[in-house]
Amino acid sequence: MSTQSSSTPHAARPPVDDTSVPSFESSGGDWDEIAAEIAELGEERIVVNMGPQHPSTHGVLRLMLEIDGETVTEARCGVGYLHTGIEKNMEFRTWTQGVAFCTRMDYLAPFFQEAAYCLGIERLLGVEDDVPERAQVIRVLLMELNRVASHLVCLGTGGNEMGATTVMTVSFTAREEILRIFESITGLRMNHAFIRPGGVAQDVPAGLTEDFWHMDTEVRKYLAQLGDLMLANPIFRSRLVGTGHLNLAGCMALGVTGPVLRSAGLPYDVRKSAPYCGYETYDFDVPTSTEADCYSRVVLRIEECYQSLKIAAQCIERLERSTGDPVMVADKKIAWPAQLAIGTDGAGNSLEHIREIMGESMESLIHHFKLVTEGFRVPAGQVFQTVEHPRGELGVHLVSDGGTRPYRAHFRDPSFNNLQAVALMCEGGQVADVVVAVASLDPVLGGVDR
């Protein structure tokens, strides 16, 4: 077999013995390297692309698979197809405006990016101890409900990719109950920008307690259904038990965290190892397993949902006891806008504050204008803050040069690190098991590429 190359005139090429020397033609990035290696080895290999536009890759993820029959002999990840430049954009916005950017990275877990970013800013400002307790409780409530919602998407999409459509419909129906709570508190279902440096944008609405307990009852009912549909299903078990194995040594070598790490037996959870937002005062457990396979990760995520609901219930009790307490630091040079309170319409600044800055105090109006348009200054320095994200340890590295904008904002997204395990989990297995293994990692490409 022979082919012609567009870079070399046909007349200048030496004759090729079709029976002895194979010739290959390829173009475009990795394929050039693959073809060169094939020619060097002198043997036939099959390399296929799964993605980046594929319903089983949890987003625009490209998997390059070398297969021998149905067996995967080599697996590589290709990322970067969803790059949005969020980190660079944050350098050109005020510290508060940065919240509206980082909340959009991992779009299934927005509150965790908001919390990590704001906790880092508060440490740079030196006001971490001044954030009102009620604001910290609201943050914990939102994060734990967000953890449940994120895990439900993982379970639902993973089940759908294996042909279990009912698993997806049950999971997403349960998630809707949580998104209604988010909408009642923040006004939005996703991309909230609700957690702000110094506290939260506003207090929770009246009637939240009744809405929460209704949601709690419904979500627990759906979680029980998922347990019956998935964990007790012999077909589901046969697909997941022993698949995508990644032991503790592999997790430690690759920097894998979250449910994947805990499925290998290590109970590492930032909420316990380096508590933030008062997590040391809440009663909850960190479930672990030792099977280190896809099935154990499903079990752990379901159990984590119950633990998160347990924490959220404690938050509701604390909110009932602290009704009327502030939700933003008292320092008017940081609190944005200048004074946050719920007006008669249930949102926004109080009418008394609007009346003051618009008609009574020129100084208040000037301060409000400068704080919103220019922002507050953060002392020069750098900080690294971590939180326990649904997919693992989320870290944010913030650098300030003393101005009103971040000099640098960089996030350690757990999905990015966890994707390194794809080769170790998939090579030697079947092509169909690649879908299961990737689903058990639960990557979100918005956080990977950011």
Give per-residue pLDDT as tens, 379-408: 999 999 999 999 999 999 999 999 999 999
Choice among 38-42, 78-82, 120-124, 177-181 with the minimum mean pLDDT: 38-42
Instruction: Please say whether the beta carbons of 386 and 206 come within 8 A.
Output: no
**Is the domain of 23 the same as that of 113?**
no
Q: What is the pLDDT of residue 378?
A: 92
Q: What is d(CA 394, CA 409) in angstroms, rounded to the nearest whole number?
A: 13
Q: What is d(CA 448, CA 419) in angstroms, rounded to the nearest whole number?
A: 9
Q: What is the pLDDT of residue 197?
A: 92
Query: Does residue 358 fall inside a structural domain?
Result: no
Q: What is the pLDDT of residue 349?
A: 59
| Integer angstrom CA distances of residue 200 from 117, 142, 438 | 13, 11, 35
- Answer yes or no: is pLDDT of 86 > 80: yes
Confidence bin at 138 (pLDDT 50/70/90): very high
pLDDT tens sequence across 28-85: 556 667 667 666 665 667 888 887 777 766 778 888 888 888 888 888 888 888 888 8
Q: Among residues 44, 78, 112, which one ends one of the domains?
A: 78
Percent of the chain topping pLDDT 90 = 48
Query: Does residue 367 fall inside a structural domain?
Result: no
Q: CB-side exposure of 215: number of CA atoms within 13 Å?
A: 25
CA 262 to centroid of chain Cα atoms: 17
Instruction: Name the one residue in this structure whose structure tokens are 């998939």.
Output: 426
Q: What is the pLDDT of residue 221?
A: 95
**Is the domain of 129 the same as that of 103?**
yes
Q: Which residue has the higher pLDDT, 18 or 322?
A: 322
Q: What is d(CA 292, CA 21) in angstroms, rounded to the nearest whole number?
A: 45
Query: Does residue 53 fall inside a structural domain?
Result: yes
pLDDT tens sequence across 154-165: 999 888 888 888
| Integer angstrom CA distances of residue 414 from 169, 202, 269 | 27, 29, 13
Provide the 10 A C-beta neighbour count for residue 366: 11
Number of helices and strands in the chain (H, E): 18, 8
Mean pLDDT, residues 235-252: 90
| Integer angstrom CA distances of residue 264 from 147, 250, 317, 333 | 20, 9, 34, 47
**Is the domain of 72 the same as that of 101?**
no
pTM, full prediction: 0.85
- Answer yes or no: is pLDDT of 15 > 60: no
Query: Does residue 302 fall inside a structural domain?
Result: yes
Instruction: Please say whether the beta carbons of 394 and 116 come within 8 A.
Output: yes
Q: What is the pLDDT of residue 4?
A: 42
**Is the domain of 20 the same as that of 169?**
no
Instruction: Please say whether the beta carbons of 295 and 233 come within 8 A.
Output: no
Query: Does residue 363 fall inside a structural domain?
Result: no
- Answer yes or no: is pLDDT of 209 > 90: yes
What is the four-CA torsion angle of 155, 209, 186, 203, rounded to 10 degrees? -140
For the chain, the domain total comes to: 2
| CATH number of the domain encompassing residue 409 | 1.10.645.10
Instruction: Please say whether the beta carbons of 413 and 106 come within 8 A.
Output: yes
**Is the domain of 168 the same as that of 207?**
yes
Instruction: Please say whether the beta carbons of 268 and 262 come within 8 A.
Output: yes
Q: What is the pLDDT of residue 16?
A: 46
Query: Does residue 282 fall inside a structural domain?
Result: yes
Percent of the chain topping pLDDT 70 = 85
**Is the domain of 315 the same as that of 203?**
yes
Query: Does residue 217 fall inside a structural domain?
Result: yes
Confidence bin at 302 (pLDDT 50/70/90): very high
Nearest CA among 382, 386, 383, 195 for reference residue 272? 386
**Is the domain of 39 the same as that of 130?**
no
**Is the domain of 231 the same as that of 155?**
yes
pLDDT tens sequence across 224-238: 999 998 988 888 888
Q: Among residues 29, 54, 78, which one ends one of the domains?
A: 78
Domain of residue 237: give its range: 93-336+375-449
- Answer yes or no: is pLDDT of 347 > 60: no
Q: What is d(CA 230, CA 436) in angstroms, rounded to the nearest whole number?
A: 13
**Is the domain of 23 the same as that of 159?**
no
For residue 399 the two structure tokens come to: 């650098």
**Is the domain of 47 the same as that of 112?**
no
Confidence bin at 314 (pLDDT 50/70/90): very high
Q: What is the pLDDT of residue 126?
A: 92
Enclosing H/E stretch for 89:
helix 86-89
Query: Does residue 151 fall inside a structural domain?
Result: yes
**Is the domain of 321 the same as that of 185?**
yes
Instruction: Please say whether the beta carbons of 205 and 272 come within 8 A.
Output: no
**Is the domain of 242 the same as that of 279?**
yes
